[in-house]
Structure 1
Amino acid sequence: MECHVYYEGDDDPKKCTARRLEKFDEATLYRTMRQVPYGVVLNPHAEQALSPADADDGLGTLVALDCSWESAEEAAFKMNGVHRALPFLVAANPVNYGRPFQLTTVEALAAACCIFDDWDRAEELLSHFRWGETFLTLNEEPLRRYSNCADSTEVVAVQEEYLADEADGDGTMSE
């Protein structure tokens, strides 16, 4: 799975997971939209959830956005590709640990790889971060369940179970 990142460079370079991925030849960073290849765009504002059915749509290419939340919607709107939002997952990075939907670029790419049932690639991406394994541990159950879904509708149904449990505050899944 090829990983590409539209990179605006508006964060702390020492904490930027996209730059670290580039350093280890795990992802290619682009500063202009027209350079970014066609693929599955991990867009937090997309109307459809990422599912295993999307694996072939991007022709083996994942595209992440590394920009502020404020500019993400505008940036994603301009990108070519199949736009999908990641379902409910919890961050393991030190800045947003335990917060749902507050993933770093590497967490987003790794999650997409897991949903596409490419766990080895996810582990490769996360191996460059002290907390990388923690991300997979925290999210193992939902990622496995999402990766077994047929389509976006099923992913959303699984996500709704997690969100209902979060609202209840018990943090456990009901079958």
Structure 2
Amino acid sequence: MVKVMVYHIGGDNPRANTALKLVRSGLAEAVRTIPRGVLVLDPYAKLPVSRSDATIVSSNGILVVDASWRRLRLPRKGLKRRLPLLLAANPVNFGRPFILSSAEALAASLYIAGFRDEARRVLSVFKWGPAFFMVNAKLLSAYEGRDAYGVISVECRLLREVVGVEMGDCGPESLTSLYKNIVSRYIDEGK
């Protein structure tokens, strides 16, 4: 079984906090320091999580930094990966791209890296958990089994064809810049 970890910073509603619910349910471990070699989910990382990360996740685990988007301070340790384009299924941000709960981020990363059962287990404690996989079925299927640059290629195609975003040179840097702008807008809106 994959080691799932939560580095809790706080700043949001503890009763609605999905990462803390995972810890209370025994599906994740709260950590005070970032373990060496762990895969850290970082919304500003250049490379997305991919099947190529399976060995790291299997041997060292995966960690989500649990904090309000407004107070997100990321640790310097760990192998950093971001999520590719996905939609939230949680009641707070349903249907919004990129703004996933901590539990959704963990589940998506596990799924893309090839740990489907663990991904489903992570979201099993939420009523809306199955909806995440239904809403993102095509996206997860498109990303699954690809390396980081394969995931980026799929993201670029989806942004052009589905979302209508035209990007001249669609690559790691341009996607990271686009996602930073989207997250900044959500923060400015108070989400």
Match of 2:155 among 153, 159, 162: 159
User: Which residue is 1:9 aligned to?
Assistant: 10
State the distance in 2 between where 1:6 and 1:117 align. 23
The SS at the match of 1:63 is strand
Secondary structure of 2:16 counterpart: coil
Verify the 8 A CA contact 1:5 1:36 in the aligned structure 2: no
Aligned to 2:83: 86
For structure 2, the 5+ residue unaligned runs are: 166-191
2:64–2:106 CA contact under 8 A, matched in 1? yes
Provide the residue aligned with 1:71 in structure 2: 71
Aligned partners of 1:15 and 1:24: how far apart in 2? 14
Shift of 1:60: 4.2
Deviations 1:54-90 (A, max 9, x none): 1223424001011122332xx32x3321101110000
- Paired residues in the alignment total 162
Aligned to 2:119: 122
Q: Secondary structure at the match of 1:117?
A: coil
TM-score (norm. length: structure 2): 0.80
- 1:84-111: per-residue Cα shift (whole Å, max 9, x none)? 1110000000000000000000000000
Is residue 111 from structure 1 mapped to residue 112 from structure 2 by the alignment? no
Structure number with the higher helix fraction is: 2
Q: Superposed, which structure 2 residues align to 1:51-66 within 5 Å? A: 51-58=50-57, 59-66=59-66
4+ aligned runs moved over 3 Å, structure 1: none
Q: Counterpart in 1 of 2:130?
A: 133
Identity level (%): 35
**By how many angstroms is 1:139 displaced?**
0.7
Equivalent residue for 1:172? none
1:45 aligns with 2:44: yes
Letter in 2 for 1:153: Y
Q: Distance in 2 between matches of 1:119 and 1:79?
A: 28
Contact in 2 for aligned 1:3/1:62 (Cα 8 Å): yes
1:102 and 2:99 correspond: yes
The SS at the match of 1:55 is helix
In 2, are the aligned partners of 1:44 and 1:86 still within 8 Å (CA)?
Answer: yes
Offset of 1:142 from its aligned partner?
A: 1.2
- Report the RMSD for the aligned CA atoms in angstroms: 1.6
Would you say the 8 A contact 2:40–2:81 is kept in 1? yes
Code of the aligned partner of 1:54: D
